[in-house]
Amino acid sequence: MLSEYATVLFVPTAKELSKIFGIRETAREKGFEYAFFKNTPVVLTGIGKTNAAITASAFFGTYRPEKAILTGICGAYRASGLKIGETVSVVEDNFADEGSYDGFRLVSLAEKGMPLWEGGAVPFAPLDGFFNAVSNTVSLLPAENGLSEIYRAKTGAHVENMEGASFGLAAVKAGIRAFQLRAVSNYCGAMPEWNIASASSALRLAVESIL
C-alpha cells in the first residue's frame, strides 16, 4: 500500500502524530508504523538520530517516494529571531554534537578528519512560502544557555532538532528528494518557554498547505 504514494510524511513520535494531526491509531506494513493524513501516509520514525537513520534507510530501501517530508516540532535559538509557533523549512541540517567538547570549545568530527559525511551540512530541498532555516541535529539537549550558544555559534543554525541530519543523510544516500518542515515549540537553553499546542497547530496548517 505505501508503495502507491509519491509523497510520504514522516514524524518522530506518536505524541507529535496525535498533537499535530489528531491521529491516535496506526497501522503497520513491513515493519513501518503509519497512519494517513489528507490521504497521505505519515510514517513514525522514532525519536532521535538512530531511530531516524534506521527507519529512513529501511523505508527508502523498500519504497521510492518522489518526496519524503520530515516534520515535527523543534527548538529555536533565541538569537535566530524566530518566534514560538513559527514554521520553517530546514534547508541545511548539521550533526552538531558529534565530536569532542572540553568545556569551552566544540570540535567536530570533520575537524578531526573523521567526517560523518564529506558533504558537511546535510541538504534538504526548500519549501516555498517558509523561512529557510539552518538546523542542528543533536542528541545532547542543552538545558542551559552556554552549551546552547556553543551549538548555535558553531554552525550558525536557527533551530535545533533530534532527527533531521540522520533522516536527510539517509535520503541523500538513497537518492530521495527530502524536505524538512518544522514548527518552533520552545527556545533552546535555559527557560525554554514551551508551547507545543501553538507549534502543532501551526504545523498542521503548514502541512495542509503543501499537500
**pLDDT tens figures, 62-88:** 999 999 999 999 999 999 999 999 999
pLDDT bin (cut points 50, 70, 90) of residue 1 is confident
What average pLDDT does the segment 105-118 reach? 92
More confident residue, 142 or 8: 8
- CATH match for 2-210 among 3.40.50.300, 2.60.120.10, 3.40.50.1580, 3.40.1550.10: 3.40.50.1580
Given phi > 0 = left and psi -120 to 50 = alpha, else beta, which region is 48? left
Nearest Cα neighbor of 170 from 56, 94, 61, 72 is 56
Between CA 46 and CA 209 the distance in angstroms is: 25
Each as own residue / partner, the long-range contacts of residues 28-37 (CB below 8 Å, 24 or more positions apart, any chain) are: 29/1, 29/2, 30/2, 30/62, 31/58, 32/2, 32/58, 32/59, 32/62, 34/2, 37/9, 37/207, 37/211
- For residue 126, CA distances in Å to 138, 146, 177 come to 21, 30, 10
pTM: 0.96
Number of other residues whose CB lies within 10 A of the CB of residue 51: 18
* Whether residue 103 has pLDDT greater than 90: no
- For residue 152, CA distances in Å to 9, 28, 41, 76, 201 come to 27, 38, 33, 10, 26
Segment among 17-21, 98-102, 120-124, 155-159 with least mean pLDDT = 98-102
Residue ranges per structural domain of the chain:
2-210
Nearest Cα neighbor of 87 from 129, 122, 47, 121 is 129
Ranges of H-type helices in 25-143: 48-62
Cell numbers placing 16: 507529535
- For residue 142, CA distances in Å to 66, 78, 85 come to 35, 13, 20
Nearest Cα neighbor of 75 from 142, 2, 4 is 142
